[in-house]
Homo-oligomer: A and B are copies of this chain.
Amino acid sequence: MKNPNIKVGIVGANGYAGAEVLRLIASHPAAELSIVTSRAHYGKRVCDVFPALPSPLVFSDMNDPLLKKCDAVFVALPQTAGATLVGDLIDAGVRVIDLSADYRFDDIELYEKTYNVTHPRPDLNALAVYGLCEVNRDKIRDARLVANPGCYVTSVLLPMLPLCKAGLAANIIADSKSGTSGAGRKSDEAYSFCAVDESFKAYGVFNHRHAPEMSEKLGVDILFTPHLLPIKRGILSTVYFDVTDADEALNALRSAYNNEPFVSYTDQLPEISAVAHTNRCLFSARFSGKRGIIISVIDNLLKGAAGQAVQNMNIMFGQDETAGLPLYAPI
């Protein structure tokens, strides 16, 4: 039925993003899982650890030589933890899609300051292509290393880049709200059901790590406030800005992603349920005088992480860009 040609490895497959990559690859028409790794679950079968993922594969270690025999490896580890491995894989000729922030920044000092770390392999940074698919498609095609964008960042960049590139927006404030899976798999009372359910809160005010990533890519400083939604998946960003010319801005937004399967301008204000469990980004805009508001929605684990990562793989390996990626949202 399936004609696999891309041999895939996943490092850190027990985190939410890694597990979603695993799920997508398992039903991808042109990819095959060769190896999945997890420190926590080493030696166990995927299906025994996660009944939701009926894969007979056994979790390996990230030092397993099989990784170097893959065509593509998704690295879904915490900041800096996978940076050296990424280098080794690239040296071995493997093409890497890194889901951490390690290779997202042009300015490596900004990265180090933002994450309060020392980059283990700054030399590789020049190789990395920022994996915002619709924007960097041409560079991604031949990239050896793709840095998959942050979830909040994707929700803001897709609608705002066309405006910022055209100099149409200033004084940008992004008020974003994310489902709880954005925090990762957690054993922490703050993310317990009773703490999150029927509540809502802001966090990281004036100091969230996605703000510098947004600002660098947009080329302007942006004020960004994230909030925690009592839902599993999805991000909605409400972006406020001063617009120089509302008609021109609307035209720019309408035309920017004209033939894109995953990114669309809509007249109706979009809601999270329209894109949850898909790889889509929907956005709409409203203007009043010199004020503009954009509402943008994505699934934080798909277009905001694993889905965009697989889309990057599709581009890198000459596949139909939509292969294995859900377009239609369930009820």
List A residues at the B interface (Cβ < 8 Å): 1, 16, 19-20, 22-23, 26-27, 29, 51-55, 173, 175, 177, 179-181, 185-189, 191-203, 205-206, 223, 225, 227, 229-234, 236, 238, 240, 264, 266, 268-278, 280, 282, 286, 288, 291, 293, 295, 301, 320, 323, 326-331
Contact = CB atoms under 8 A, between A and B. Distances in A.
Contact of A52 (B55, B189, B240, B274): B274
A179 B200 CA distance: 10
Contact of A272 (B200, B205, B234, B266): B200
Contacts of A238: 175, 202, 225, 227
Given A53-B329, A206-B291, 18 more contacts: A1-B29, A16-B331, A20-B330, A22-B328, A175-B175, A185-B192, A188-B192, A192-B193, A193-B195, A193-B196, A195-B273, A198-B198, A199-B231, A199-B271, A200-B234, A200-B271, A201-B295, A206-B288
Contact of A200 (B177, B189, B199, B203): B177
A1 B326 CA distance: 15
A276 to B, nearest CB: 7
Contacts of A52: 273-275, 278, 328-331
A331 B21 CA distance: 11
29 contacts: A20-B331, A23-B330, A26-B328, A27-B327, A27-B328, A51-B268, A52-B273, A54-B328, A55-B328, A175-B240, A179-B198, A181-B194, A186-B189, A191-B192, A193-B193, A195-B273, A198-B198, A199-B273, A200-B236, A201-B269, A201-B295, A205-B293, A205-B295, A206-B286, A206-B291, A223-B291, A233-B330, A233-B331, A301-B330
A164 B236 CA distance: 30
Closest 6 CB pairs of A and B: A201-B271, A52-B329, A199-B273, A193-B196, A23-B328, A51-B274
Contacts of A327: 26-27, 54
A269 B232 contact: no
A23 B93 CA distance: 38
A197 B274 contact: no
Contacts of A53: 328-329
A199 B272 contact: yes
A27 B24 CA distance: 14
A79 to B, nearest CB: 21
A206 B291 CA distance: 10
A181 B186 CA distance: 18
B231 A51 contact: no
Nearest to A184: B194
Nearest to A236: B200
A200 B1 contact: no
A51 B282 CA distance: 9
Given A180-B193, A329-B53, A240 B227 contact: no
Nearest to A30: B1
